[in-house]
Amino acid sequence: MSDGDRHSIAEQPSLIDDPIEEAKRESENAVAQFDRVLDLIDEVVRDTRPFRLRTSMILDLHRIALDGLSSHAGNFRPANVSIGQSKHTPPPAHLVPSLIEEMCDFVMDNFAEAKALHLCAYVMWRLNWIHPFTDGNGRTSRALAYFVLCAKVGYRLPGHQTLPEQIAADKAPYYEALEQADEHWLADQLDLTALEKLLDACLATQLLSAYDDANNPEAGMPRDKKLH
């Protein structure tokens, strides 16, 4: 955990004591979660079936991210939690399931008309706002938001510098955008402007990386596959 990271104060100890082994498992899980997101995107695109955002998808992505690291992998937090270095206090644990359902309903109700980046920003912010897990909230929110983004546009977005990877590499603007959205929500306003601007810039960088690869003779070399 780097200095400046927001994290759950109620975060449970890792199931792995060795920091090196823990980092290795986190990396392996990141690859597995990336692959699962790609599978979900392909299911929407290949099978041409209506997109559905379900609680089970969210729990599955969380389970993969925390597999072998937390006893709560794939489960909502059992108690209340606070977030380090954040003004936001997440809702009580007993409200988490219904709030997740409301989040899914919002996406589905607005899926046909809303812009892809707006839905992506909403999921990324709202899941962090609910903070449904003892750990891995950020990882899960970024993976889920990327899935929603690609599902809305209808295909895997090209480029090796994925939007979630860019955010994970420099979290300060991301945290600031989340805090701004939280402040607007306290005033009964759903205003994701700052987060949408950040995601817009990240998406442009990702698409540019695809363009650069097309002009790079060394493109296609193996790279780490992960979203965080």
Residues noted as catalytic: 131
The span from the CA of 75 to the CA of 175, in Å, is 24
The span from the CA of 132 to the CA of 109, in Å, is 22
Q: Per DSSP, which regions of 96-216 are E strands?
A: none
CA atoms within 13 A on the CB side of 70: 21
The span from the CA of 140 to the CA of 126, in Å, is 12
CA angle 139, 144, 150 (to 5 degrees): 130
Say which amino acid occupies 4.
G
